[in-house]
Amino acid sequence: MKSGYVSIIGKPNTGKSTLLNRLLGTKLSITGPKPQITRNRILGILTEDDCQCYFLDTPGIIKPGYELQKLMVENILKWYHSAHNLKYAIFRYFNVAGATEKNGECHDPETHLIPLIMQVALGQKEHLDVFGSGTRDYIHVSDVADIHISVMDYLNCETYNLGRGYGISVKEMVKIAEELTGKKIPISKEHQRKGDPINLISQPDFKTKHGIISIIESAWEWHKGGGYGKN
């Protein structure tokens, strides 16, 4: 008897679970009008006289926007590896920051701490809004690039934490930025936002070359040089 795996993949709410149910002739997977009803792997087995097929129904492939979706995508990769020997690496990023000579960090609207600090230092903002006193782990973008390149040489289906393993508060960040830029950075204290964890610090899987001073210094040089407008 011949046998094999068939993975049913695609975007959310495109009929993957309905297809599995039709193929098996029974309602194995839950279906409905809302996307992402399937959150785990569903295994269905179809047995014929001369073959046996193992069907894998998986969550829809999306660009994850929150933690549950990220975990679902991680599980999808693991299931594809089990069924089809897909090689992968999972990176769990903490706060990627800093800049190279040509590329830096800039968003519209801007919500990230270091670019906001740079805007105040450059006189583009009057003050920095500070929400609470938690600590965060920052890693330089160049370290992240180096780690990606090194892992590509030995894809071994592992999960990696990308951080430095050190936390720094907003007040500490502002103090360092003032020393490096020679600019006063006024702050406006706000209440801790609901749902914000006090501390987010990694247990890093790689050693990094750059510390927090290098991160802030490189960001300052890039923003000072004109950001995306001139670099």
Known catalytic residues are: 66
Q: What are phi and psi of 219, to 5 degrees?
A: -65, -40
**Are the C-beta atoms of 54 and 4 separated by less than 8 Å?**
yes
* Look-up of token digits 């089809």: 84
Cα distance between residue 56 and residue 87, in whole Å: 18
Rounded to 10 degrees, what is the CA torsion of 156, 157, 162, 166? -90
Give burial (CB, 10 Å; 0-12/13-18/19+) of 170.
buried
Cα distance between residue 28 and residue 122, in whole Å: 59
For 177-215, give one letter per residue: b (16+ CB within 10 A) or e.
beeebeeebeeeeeeeeeeeeeeebbebbbebebebeeb
Return the structure tokens found at 151: 């892992």
